[in-house]
């Protein structure tokens, strides 16, 4: 199996931006958020199980998951979140394994897993953990700038995620994303050279 680096970080920390920079270097990118999205779009293979578990009210007119409705439910109800995860995680894992087997000639794979700290099954797929980190003020500012979330909503999401210090404990490598995009690209370049050497 291809050498796989698990990329994680809090909401809006820069995971997708970092993944894009690794892609420019030729790494294979597998993004579990993208996979979850595909599983839950109209006709997605997770839809029948979601309908059976949560009822029609969480399936939109077009047959996709009602994302806003489900987000509100699982944010308010931890048991519902566990039910959704029990249903989705095995399907995301299976699709991840399929994609890892199809990475062609890429020298290594970057597997983007926001939930890596809470998901042992995904940690078993990766040989290293790379955490994208930035201070909370930067994180909040970027989240609010890019989305329609208020600062209070962004804070609530951050508070619901694995605490920063705990996430950093899992890191084999850390990218500090408090600077500009050039500073980010420099860190990605340096890690890319190390990952190519295929050594720890
Ligand atoms: N170094 C940077 N300088 C300026 N803007 C940045 C930088 N890094 C990321 N951003 C911007 O911050 C926002 C969040 O970045 P990004 O989408 O990569 O984070 P993410 O961790 O993938 O977020 P999510 O958790 O929602 O998937 C984006 O609008 C992105 O363009
Ligand atoms: Mg992202």
| pLDDT one-digit tens code per residue, 169-191 | 999 999 999 999 999 999 999 99
CA dihedral 136, 137, 142, 144 (to 10 degrees): 100
Question: Ligand 1 pocket, 17 CB below 6 A?
Answer: yes
User: Nearest CA to 63 among 37, 38, 40, 42?
Assistant: 42
CA 10, CA 135: separation in Å to the nearest integer?
Answer: 10
Q: Is the CB of 158 under 6 A from ligand 1?
A: no
Q: Whose CA is nearest to atom 31 of ligand 1?
A: 17
Token pair for 178 = 């408090």
Answer whether 22's CB lies under 8 Å from 101's CB. no
- For residue 4, is it left (φ>0), alpha (ψ between -120 and 50) or beta? beta
Q: Is the CB of 9 under 6 A from ligand 1?
A: yes
State the pTM of this model.
0.94
For the Cβ of 182 lying below 6 angstroms from any atom of ligand 1, the answer is no
* Tens of pLDDT, residues 59-110: 999 999 999 999 999 989 999 999 999 999 999 999 999 999 999 999 999 9
Distance of CA 185 to the CA centre of its chain: 19
Nearest to 32 by CA among 123, 128, 107, 166: 123
Contact yes or no for 29/109 (Cβ under 8 A): yes
Q: Whose CA is nearest to atom 12 of ligand 1?
A: 142
Q: What is the pLDDT of residues 137-163, one digit of tens each?
A: 999 999 999 987 899 999 999 999 999
Report DSSP letters for 61-117, one per residue: TTSSB-HHHHHHHHHH-HHHHHHHHHHHHHHHHHHHHHHHTT-TT-S-EEEE-TTGG
pLDDT band at 33 (very low <50, low <70, confident <90, very high): very high
Helix (H) or strand (E) holding 7: strand 4-8
Say if residue 159 is exposed, middle or buried (CB neighbours under 10 Å; 0-12, 13-18, 19+). exposed
């Amino acid at each position: 199996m291809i050498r796989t680096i698990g990329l994680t970080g809090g909401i809006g920390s820069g995971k997708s931006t970092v993944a894009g920079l690794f892609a420019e270097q030729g790494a294979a990118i597998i993004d579990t958020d993208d996979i979850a999205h595909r599983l839950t779009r109209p006709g997605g293979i997770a839809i029948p199980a979601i309908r059976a578990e949560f009822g029609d009210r969480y399936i939109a007119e077009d047959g996709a998951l009602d994302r806003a409705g489900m987000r509100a439910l699982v944010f308010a109800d931890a048991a519902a979140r566990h039910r959704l995860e029990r249903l989705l995680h095995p399907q995301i894992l299976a699709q991840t394994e399929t994609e890892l087997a199809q990475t062609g000639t890429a020298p290594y794979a970057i597997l983007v897993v926001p939930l890596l700290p809470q998901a042992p099954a995904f940690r078993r797929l990766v040989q290293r953990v790379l955490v994208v980190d930035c201070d909370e003020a930067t994180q909040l500012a970027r989240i609010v700038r890019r989305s329609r979330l208020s600062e209070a909503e962004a804070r609530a999401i951050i508070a619901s995620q694995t605490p920063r210090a705990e996430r950093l404990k899992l890191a084999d490598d850390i990218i500090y994303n408090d600077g500009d995009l050039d500073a980010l690209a420099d860190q990605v370049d340096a890690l890319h050279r190390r990952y190519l050497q295929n050594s720890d």
